[in-house]
Chains A and B, each alone.
Chain A
Amino acid sequence: MVIVSIILIIIAIYLAAGFVFAVAFIVKGVTKIDEGAHGATWGFRLIIIPGTIVFWPFLLNKWIRASKTKEE
């Protein structure tokens, strides 16, 4: 029971962090990592929020790499 509680708390923290990331990502990040997102509708941005909350470390990594290649 304690272990399950701890796991649930960790998942909750992970998802909360994902939510914060998702807000920044749909405003700025998404256009940085994907050309197709230029001129994409707000409907599209909203629809990728749940996925962004779950897969945020992966997208963060892409975002960082995309901004690095731009600097070079």
Chain B
Amino acid sequence: MSASYAAVGWNRQKKIYDWLIAGFCTSYLVLFISLSLVFNEQVTFETLLIRSTSTLAVLLLHVILAIGPLCRLNKKFLPLLYNRRHLGVTMFTLSLVHGSFGIFQFHALGNINPILSLLTSNTNFNSLSAFPFQALGFLALVIFFLMAITSHDFWLHHLSPKVWKTLHMFVYLAYFLVVMHVMLGVIQYESNPVFVIIIFAGATTLVTLHLLSGIKERKTDNRQFALQQQGFVYVCGVKDIENSRAKIFCIDKERIAVYRHENKLFAVHNVCKHQGGPLGEGKILDGCITCPWHGYQYLPQNGQSPPPFREKVSTYDVKIVDNKVWLNPAASAEGTERPGAEIKD
């Protein structure tokens, strides 16, 4: 948050997460290499490395891209999102190993610069089966590189959350490039359709998850609130909100999170100051609303981060009449203390 920077913001959960990533990646690589050696003992070391890292990177990329929509569909997946950037950097590192060995093996033996060779040795841009697929992979690697080097929060602050998010949305373009890199590359010389089926299944899963979660949210966003009284809007029943959790309502194009904490309801702006994470999808931990994305915290009654942090979000008025929750969409200034609404059983 706003205290001094460290290289990596490790805590217990993040360490467990990272150990799991490292363990999974190591087992995958060991298994892949051993199986390859059993079935084809002639395979060279470079080829093994190129194949094992690339397949693992593609697998991780699918996991990374599935985490976002999975969390929006079901909160049980939130722990995966918490440290997604470490997963991203791991994926980039694997892609870098794959890319470097690929460039070395295929382009470093000539007398021209390997990168130049990669970009210019094949110019069949008008052919599908002979398309320069390596250039696609290279471009995707450049995107992953830019994302990895800006993954520290320092860059989020200095590039501004908006620029940062836009830069990181290029991962979708990179994903498309990776799919085509695989399809126009190695698959063009494989007679086994299983590779096409795997890639197709992966892409279909991601597209479905993203469309489902997007459509689900559009419903929430487009909900019309008919009942209005003195600026307050009827949103839901008291029982609809679980303890220490929130429901999100979109009124006048703003998303507001209504939290239930210690038998009271409080409303804050749904957008976290850190990266624009959905505060209403988080929960109350240690008396603070905790953003599901990276754990930024705010007090429910005033929307302020506990000291020494200085982030503040807008607060809203809530009232309860006959077990019905009414919300006033007029925002108070960021960090304004609001009394909240008491729940009487």
Residues of A at the B interface (CB closer than 8 Å) are: 1, 4-5, 8, 33-34, 36-41, 43-44, 46-48, 50-51, 54-55, 58-59, 62
The interface bits of chain B over 147-177 (1 if a CB of A lies within 8 angstroms of the residue's CB, else 0) are: 0111010110111000000000000000000
A52: nearest chain-B partner, CB-CB: B149
Residues of B98-153 contacting chain A, CB below 8 A: 113, 115-116, 119-120, 146, 148-150, 152
Q: Is B192 an interface residue (CB 8 A)?
A: no
Residue of B5, B8, B120, B149 near A40 (CB, 8 A) is B5
Q: Is B3 an interface residue (CB 8 A)?
A: yes
A4 touches B119 (CB 8 A): yes
Interface magnitude class on chain B: 20 to 34
- Across the A-B interface, how many residue pairs have beta carbons closer than 8 Å? 65
Give Cα distance in the complex from A64 to B154, angstroms: 18
A48 touches B116 (CB 8 A): no
A33: nearest chain-B partner, CB-CB: B158
Name the residue among A4, A34, A36 with the largest chain B CB count within 10 angstroms.
A36
Give Cα distance in the complex from A39 to B5, angstroms: 8
Give Cα distance in the complex from A43 to B154, angstroms: 13
A35: nearest chain-B partner, CB-CB: B2
Give Cα distance in the complex from A66 to B169, angstroms: 30
A34 touches B7 (CB 8 A): no
CB<8 Å pairs between A and B, sample of 13: A4-B120, A5-B113, A5-B116, A8-B116, A36-B4, A36-B157, A40-B6, A41-B6, A46-B7, A47-B8, A50-B148, A50-B149, A55-B155
Which residues of the other chain, B, contact A40 by a CB distance below 8 angstroms? 4-6
Which residues of the other chain, A, contact B3 by a CB distance below 8 angstroms? 36
Which residues of the other chain, A, contact B115 by a CB distance below 8 angstroms? 8
Residue of A37, A39, A41, A62 near B7 (CB, 8 A) is A41
Which residues of the other chain, A, contact B6 by a CB distance below 8 angstroms? 40-41, 43-44
Residue of B113, B148, B159 near A8 (CB, 8 A) is B113
Which residues of the other chain, B, contact A58 by a CB distance below 8 angstroms? 158-159
Give Cα distance in the complex from A62 to B158, angstroms: 9
Residue of A5, A38, A48, A62 near B155 (CB, 8 A) is A48
Which residues of the other chain, B, contact A33 by a CB distance below 8 angstroms? 158
The interface bits of chain B over 1-23 (1 if a CB of A lies within 8 angstroms of the residue's CB, else 0) are: 01111111000000000000000
B158 touches A34 (CB 8 A): yes
Residue of B113, B116, B155 near A51 (CB, 8 A) is B155
Name the residue among B7, B113, B120, B155 with the largest chain A CB count within 10 angstroms.
B7
B149 touches A44 (CB 8 A): no
Which residues of the other chain, B, contact A47 by a CB distance below 8 angstroms? 7-8, 152
A59 touches B158 (CB 8 A): yes
Give Cα distance in the complex from A58 to B150, angstroms: 13
A2 shortest CB reach to chain B, Å? 10
6 closest cross-chain pairs (CB), A and B:
A43-B7, A50-B149, A40-B5, A51-B149, A44-B5, A39-B4
Which residues of the other chain, A, contact B120 by a CB distance below 8 angstroms? 1, 4
4 new A-B contacts, CB < 8 A, other than A36-B4, A39-B4, A55-B159, are A40-B5, A43-B6, A51-B152, A54-B149
Which residues of the other chain, A, contact B2 by a CB distance below 8 angstroms? 36
Give Cα distance in the complex from A62 to B113, angstroms: 35
Which residues of the other chain, A, contact B8 by a CB distance below 8 angstroms? 43, 47
